[in-house]
Structure 1
Amino acid sequence: MNTGKEGETGMDLVERYLKAVAAQLPKETREDIVAELRDDIMGRIEDLEARLGRAPSDDEVEALLRDVGHPLTVAARYRSGPQALIGPELYPWWLFGVKVGLAVMVCVTLVGLAVRVLVGDVYLGQAIGQGFASLFSGAVSIIGILTVAGFILERQEKKPDFIAKWRVKDLGLFELGGNIDADDWSRKLAGDWAGAKAKPGPAVRKGAEMSPVARAVASAIGWTVLLLWWTGLLPVMSIRPEELAGVVDGVDYGLILRQMVEAAYWPVTLFAVCRIGFDLVRAASGGNARLTALGDLAFGAAAAWGVLWIWFWSPLSPVIWVGTVTDFLDRVRGLFDRADGEVGGVAAILMVVVVWAFLAELARMVRAAGRLAVGR
């Protein structure tokens, strides 16, 4: 049998194939595996020769070797360890992480867009175009980061407890997708609201309730995305203070934002790093109720202090600070009646947001104290 190259026979094809396989194998097992594979191939050639009643041609030998498999594929069968970038057991968690990461990224992008439009840095049409480009590049980065994390986890001998030792009560979050009916939404988009199946609010909330472990994992992913965005490592729509120079109602919010970012950069970075570490610890612990409550108290206090800093001492304080409840209510009313032009709408909105954020942190601390007391 000739292959078209002078002096090369069908056996030469087999040997070249075996050498290609051997090059992909560990040295300590190479000879044994190649010997086993050679016996298998020669047996197949003998069977083929018996069926044909003649020696197989070179093309027939090559077709037989293709049936055996590509050398890379065949060698992989003999290697230990994972045979996939992310295996089927870890893939649902990877997909869950991607969804959470992308959701946080969309929120971050919208905030960046709103600020840049608000201070007049870009027009709305520009912002939308930049937002789409930013979402695409950011999504690629998030998927890449989570894929690297999944690749590393897949190759660990011991999987994290939230994967290997899951409990039925931890599965509530993953029922959330079942409450999102694509057919219903397609009918709604087509205008058929009557034909769409309505689900009662309590039923949706019950199905979407997160388990403690799922909340910890989702929080860790979300804070990681925020940290990457804050430090400029995630290429999404960023708020770059040095590029903002918009003046609204006589206030240079670009300058204020630049000063605030400079002052808060490292405290916010440290807060995010600690939050990520805490979420990973409570996920590994199975979502311990008292540990979670203690962390919520600590982080709630830190966040509340940060809001107080914004109110009393930050560069934004002179713009939003009011001394009495009456002044606060007057500013809120000014949002709806600005005929006198004395009260800036942006300043009033920011004032309400800061007060609301402080009250939300206080409420979270009270709930955390209650959970710490009862242990659930």
Structure 2
Amino acid sequence: MDLIDRYLNAVAAQLPQSERADIIAELRDMILSRFEEKEEALGRPLTEAEQEDILRDVGHPLVVAARYGSGPQHIVGPELYPWWMFAVRAGLIAIVAITVLGAIVRVVVGDVEAGRAIGQAFHSIFNGAISLIGFATVGAYIIERQKEKPRFLREWRVKDLGLFEFGGNLNAEAVSRGLSEGDWSARPAGKGKARAASPTVRALGSAVGWGVILLWWVGWLPLTHTTPEDLGAVVHGVDFGRMLAEMHGLLYWPVIAFALVRIAFDLTRALHPKGVRFTALGDVGFGLAEAALFVWVWLYSPMSPVVFVPDVESFLDRVRAMFETGWWPLPSILMLCVAFGFLIAVSKIVGALGRLVTGRDRRLIDASN
């Protein structure tokens, strides 16, 4: 087998079967033409080394075969790269926030020493970052090979650009607001009040936040030392780790279903930002689900024995004892968290019912100003 055949066989192996014969025939004619031109210039047959030089000028078989491919010759192209980078940066911030929170909780409850918690946090952030970049790159690869680019690349509105100011305002307040409210808009410099984010921005921010939480919940975001059931320890004889592990098992599929429905809802309202009543109806449903969760935690969950109090008087007695003694036991802190979580869920329901009845959203008006 001469050099040309060996070279063309290597190229052919990278080509689709249906186009292989035509492409190889074209390449063979081109290479033979170059050989003949070189031989005429030299006045003698080419040596093997000279043939190698010409074939190297034609290109490596992998590169030559790629020229005949139907798709783009890159994973993330220049048009999509800024979006890819922004998504990775926002995701990394969410990963860091979740990991740091988990490390702080574990140190506070005495589950691990501070030095070990810091080391594990770095390890978890690194693993999470690798997975995040991998998921983002796979998504970009798929988008790049679509016949028609997604609408967010072709059709965008100036009203929704507040989301992208987030990149220049990375701070704890912005991260907290984004994860809790889906509001990733920037706070204008020199002003005490944050500009209202547009409905599309709030919807996309909420979808991203719930997406990260879902990946963490199912273990696909490998924050290996801050899994849900690991955020606990034995404190004063109470095995909070066991309680959280049992709750994670009981809530595993309900939380997955809730998160998937929430993400689908957020993406839908991002496409229809003026659907005030649709958004309000969804918020009522999610608020009821959240309120039901806190009622379950209070009355029936494995954590109920440490947070439940039978009446308002008993609740106030525990709160008063914390302030009078200056000792804040973990069961009382969890009791307050569940109670306030329930009140916040109820307030969301009330606000959503108001928007459902009136068909008006004050945040929508503020965002348009």
**TM-score, structure 1 length as denominator?**
0.76
Aligned residue in 2 for 1:80: 70
Larger radius of gyration: 1
Query: Is 1:357 the equivalent of 2:341?
Result: yes
What residue number does 1:238 align with? 226
- Which residue in the other structure is 1:193 paired with? none
Structure 2: give runs of 5+ residues left out of the alignment: 172-186, 365-369
Alignment of 1:261-340 (within 5 A): 261-283=248-270, 285-290=271-276, 291-322=278-309, 328=315, 331-338=318-325
Cα offset for 1:227? 2.0
Aligned to 2:125: 135
Q: Distance in 2 between matches of 1:179 and 1:262?
A: 37
Do 1:320 and 1:351's aligned partners in 2 also have CA atoms closer than 8 Å? yes
User: CA–CA distance in 2 between the matches of 1:222 and 1:37?
Assistant: 51
Q: Which region of structure 1 is more displaced relative to structure 2, 130-139 or 35-44?
A: 35-44
Residue 247 in 1 paired to residue 231 in 2?
no
Q: How far apart, CA to CA, are the structure 2 residues paired with 1:300 and 1:363?
A: 8
**One-letter amino acid of the counterpart of residue 147, structure 1:** T
Distance in 1 (CA, whole Å) between partners of 2:36 and 2:198 is 60
CA distances 1:52-109 after superposition (whole Å, capped 9, x unpaired):
6766543343233223221111111111123222333333333333233333322332
Look up the SS of the partner of 1:143 in the other structure. Answer: helix
Which residue number corresponds to residue 189 of structure 1? Answer: none
Judge conservation of contact 2:216–2:227 (CA < 8 Å) in 1: no
Report if the CA contact (8 A) 1:217-1:280 is conserved: yes
1:359 Cα deviation from its structure 2 partner: 3.1
Q: CA deviation at 1:112?
A: 3.0
Match of 1:154 among 124, 135, 144: 144
State the match for 2:28 in structure 1: 38
Cα displacement (A) at 1:303: 1.1
Q: What whole-Å deviation, never above 9, does each CA across 1:196-215 have from its counterpart, x for those lacking one?
A: xx972549944xx6544444
- State the partner residue of 1:194: none
CA contact (8 A) 1:289 1:371 kept: no
Do the aligned partners of residues 238 and 347 (structure 1) sit closer, same or farther apart at CA in structure 2, a change above 3 Å counting? same
Amino acid at match of 1:374: R
Retained in 2: the 8 A contact 1:301–1:365?
Answer: yes
Deviation at 1:47, TM superposition (A): 5.2
Residues 334 and 345 in structure 1, CA contact (< 8 A), matched pair in contact too:
no
Shift of 1:13: 2.7
1:92 and 2:92 are equivalent in the alignment? no
CA distance in 2, matches of 1:153, 1:77: 20
The residue number in structure 2 matching 1:228 is 215
Deviation sequence 1:282-311 (CA, Å, 0-9, x none): 34x354533333322221221122122223
1:29 CA displacement: 2.3
Deviations 1:300-357 (A, max 9, x none): 2211221222233333334334566665555445445426xxx643223223322332
Q: Pick which of 92-101 and 129-138 moved more.
A: 92-101
Letter in 2 for 1:200: A
Relative to structure 1, is the Cα distance of residues 96 and 295 closer, same or farther in structure 2, using a 3 angstrom cutoff? farther
| Matches for 1:174-185 after TM superposition, within 5 Å | 174-179=164-169
Please say if 1:145 is aligned against 2:135.
yes
Cα distance change, pair 226–312 in 1 and its aligned pair in 2 (3 A): same
Distance in 1, matches of 2:96 and 2:141, equals: 25
CA distance in 2 between partners of 1:371 and 1:199 (Å): 27
Q: Deviations over 1:194-235 (max 9, x none)?
A: xxxx972549944xx654444434433332332232223332
**Does the 8 Å CA contact 2:199/2:273 hold for their aligned counterparts?**
yes
Q: In the TM superposition, what is the alpha-carbon distance from 1:243 to its structure 2 partner?
A: 9.7
What is the distance in 2 between the residues matched to 1:55 and 1:241?
75
- State, as a whole percentage, how many aligned pairs show the same letter: 52
AA at the equivalent of 1:91: Y
Matched with 2:367 is none
Change in 2 beyond 3 A, CA 1:27/1:269: closer
Report the Cα distance in structure 1 between the residues aligned to 2:4 and 2:205, rounded to whole angstroms: 52
Q: Name 2:51's counterpart in structure 1.
A: 61
Q: Does the 8 A contact of 1:216 with 1:279 survive in 2?
A: yes
Residue pair 1:241, 1:257 contacting (<8 A) in 2 also: yes
Secondary structure of the structure 2 residue equivalent to 1:374? coil
Computed over aligned residues only, the root mean square deviation of the Cα atoms, in angstroms, reads: 3.5
The answer to whether the 8 Å contact 2:188/2:194 transfers is no
5+ residue gaps, structure 1: 1-7, 182-197
Report the CA distance between 1:173 and its aligned residue.
1.2
Note if 1:257 corresponds to 2:257.
no
Change (3 A) 1:220 1:51: farther
Q: Does the CA contact (< 8 Å) of 2:99 and 2:226 recur in 1?
A: yes
1:106 aligns with 2:96: yes
Residue 183 of structure 2: aligned partner = none
